[in-house]
């Protein structure tokens, strides 16, 4: 390999994705917020000071061939966006990371947020004229695997949408369900899983749900969440001796969110699986749990107000929480994940205080700080989500009441003791298992309608 470049393998991304799943242009300002910086008067340059930050925190998404609106790998690419970058960085809009850093758990595997010192460096660079400096001071350019390559390694099974989706050139965002058969004739344990759009330019996010043929009574008609994709996510690789069961005869429901980009485009998103060898059963089982205010359609936000809605999930076995992924819609403001302990004390685990619907981020706890919650046979311990979805800080048009999507939270858990956490199931035919018709809904993401 040439000394002018170094290769970034998928291992870096895979390590950040272990035990997951429970995921421009700017306005020009005349001045940027001040951040504390050192007293040095030397000029800040792109080559020496800014490029290393961009390589560590930005280029995973902002490189050629991705869905990002611009590449940020060279000075020539970055310079036209310097003022906009400075504004977005100073306001902490980019890189997208919406956690309140002053509360709860502070260490995450996939934390690509900027430190105060890094923000100060970028702001000083912009205010100083966005100088290039000596190109020889720049780190070697990174090279990235092609987007067509699977980050989880060679898959054992790839399943595609049952047909191609054609997205119009102009119009509102489009949510649509597609279905597909896995073709599995025997149960298999998943070691790694990844969703990959064939056209990431038009895919905001994709969620795969597993519709099991023997789903227990009360299971969601549309299946249980299996895996999700959002910009910058490169799959889940589960820890050693940990996995997820994919049953024979399982069908998949893909909850797709598309957006128009000015040209008619097509996509046929895929999901890939790497399995444990046949006959190998991992010790711990990973599950994605969705919990929310019930019933979800009871959420109401009166005009010009902020409301709070809580959802609860009781833990019936010792559990480790591996990740926290809040999900709301356009009016969502904040969400907090809490643990209610046996002594009735409450502990904040994670809190998103400036939620942005356009970024579906999965916050993955570092291994040594992932919450370990005890067995609760009396059902007095639960994880609680709190969301405060406002209509607006300023008056908006009156709709009577508007739904903010049920304030759901997604996180994963696996048994942390010597016995696996498994869920007994009774054989029951899911009414959705034979459903083959795609359903869709189209809603503008720019101006939510009443009740959206």
**Two tokens at 126?**
């912009």
Q: What is the pLDDT of residues 79-114, one digit of tens each?
A: 999 999 999 999 999 999 999 999 999 999 999 999
300 shares its domain with 208? no
Q: Please report the pLDDT score of residue 40 as a whole number.
A: 58
Task: Give 239 or 58, the one with higher predicted confidence.
Answer: 58
Is this model's pTM higher than 0.95 or not? Answer: no
Q: Does residue 409 have a pLDDT over 80?
A: no
Q: Does residue 290 have a pLDDT over 80?
A: no
Q: What is the pLDDT of residues 21-52, one digit of tens each?
A: 332 222 223 334 444 444 457 899 999 999 99
- Where residue 65 falls among pLDDT bands split at 50, 70, 90? confident
DSSP state string for 402-421: B--TT-EEEEEEE--SSS--
125 shares its domain with 206? no
315 shares its domain with 191? no
Range of the domain at 267: 150-283+420-452
Spatial CA neighbour of 317 closest among 393, 432, 420, 225: 420
Where is the domain boundary, 121, 143, 165?
Answer: 143
397 shares its domain with 448? no
Give a yes or no: residue 2 inside a domain. Answer: no
Write the CATH number for 271.
Answer: 2.60.120
DSSP state string for 53-98: HHHHHTTTTSSTTSSSSS--SSHHHHGGGHHHHHHHHHTT-SS---
Helix (H, G, I), strand (E, B) or coil at 297: helix
Where is the domain boundary, 93, 112, 143?
Answer: 143
In the chain, the number of structural domains is 3
Q: Please report the pLDDT score of residue 375 as a whole number.
A: 59
Residue 183 CB neighbours (<10 A)? 10
Helix (H, G, I), strand (E, B) or coil at 48: helix
**Two tokens at 35?**
């951040």
- Where residue 128 falls among pLDDT bands split at 50, 70, 90? very high
Residue 227 CB neighbours (<10 A)? 25
Where is the domain boundary, 143, 166, 200?
Answer: 143
Give a yes or no: residue 1 inside a domain. Answer: no
Ramachandran class of 249: left when φ > 0, alpha when ψ lies in -120 to 50, beta otherwise: left
373 shares its domain with 358? yes
390 shares its domain with 437? no
For residue 115, give the DSSP letter: P
Contact 47, 116 (CB under 8 A): no
**Two tokens at 100?**
């309140």
Give a yes or no: residue 156 inside a domain. Answer: yes
């Amino acid at each position: 390999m040439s000394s002018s470049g170094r290769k970034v393998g998928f291992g870096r991304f895979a390590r950040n994705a272990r035990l997951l799943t429970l995921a421009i242009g700017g306005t020009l300002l005349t001045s940027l917020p001040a951040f504390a910086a050192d007293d040095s008067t030397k000029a800040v340059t792109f080559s020496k000071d800014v490029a290393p930050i961009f390589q560590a925190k930005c280029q995973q998404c902002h490189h050629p061939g991705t869905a990002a609106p611009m590449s940020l790998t060279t000075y020539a690419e970055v310079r036209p966006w310097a003022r906009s970058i400075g504004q977005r960085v100073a306001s902490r809009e980019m890189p997208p990371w919406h956690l309140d850093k002053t509360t709860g758990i502070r260490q995450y595997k996939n934390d690509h947020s900027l430190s105060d010192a890094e923000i100060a460096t970028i702001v000083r660079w912009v205010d100083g004229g966005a100088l290039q400096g000596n190109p020889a001071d720049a780190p070697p350019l990174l090279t990235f695997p092609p987007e067509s390559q699977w980050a989880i390694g060679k898959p054992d099974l790839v399943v595609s949408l049952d047909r191609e989706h054609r997205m119009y050139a102009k119009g509102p965002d489009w949510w649509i369900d597609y279905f597909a058969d896995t073709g599995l004739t025997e149960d298999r344990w998943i070691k790694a899983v990844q969703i990959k759009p064939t056209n990431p330019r038009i895919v905001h996010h994709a969620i795969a749900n597993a519709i099991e043929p023997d789903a227990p009574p009360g299971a969601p008609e549309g299946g249980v969440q299996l895996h999700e994709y959002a910009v910058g996510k490169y799959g889940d690789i589960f820890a050693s001796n940990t996995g997820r069961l994919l049953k024979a005869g399982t069908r998949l429901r893909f909850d797709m969110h598309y957006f128009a980009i000015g040209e008619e485009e097509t996509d046929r998103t895929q999901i890939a699986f790497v399995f444990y060898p046949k006959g190998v059963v991992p010790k711990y089982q990973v599950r994605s749990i969705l919990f929310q205010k019930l019933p979800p359609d009871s959420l109401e936000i009166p005009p010009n107000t902020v409301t709070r809605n809580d959802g609860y999930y009781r833990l019936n076995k010792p559990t480790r929480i591996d990740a926290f992924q809040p999900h709301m819609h356009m009016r969502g403001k904040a969400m907090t994940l809490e643990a209610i302990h046996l002594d009735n004390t409450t502990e904040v685990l994670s809190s998103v205080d400036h939620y942005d619907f356009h970024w579906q981020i999965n916050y993955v706890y570092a291994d040594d700080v992932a919450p370990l919650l005890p067995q609760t046979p009396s059902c007095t311990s639960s994880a609680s989500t709190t969301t405060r979805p406002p209509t607006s800080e300023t008056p908006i048009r009156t709709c009577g009441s508007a739904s903010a999507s049920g304030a759901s939270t997604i996180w994963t858990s696996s048994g942390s003791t010597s016995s696996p956490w498994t869920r007994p199931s009774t054989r029951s035919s899911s009414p959705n298992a034979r459903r083959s018709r795609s359903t869709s809904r189209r809603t503008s993401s720019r101006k939510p309608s009443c009740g959206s």
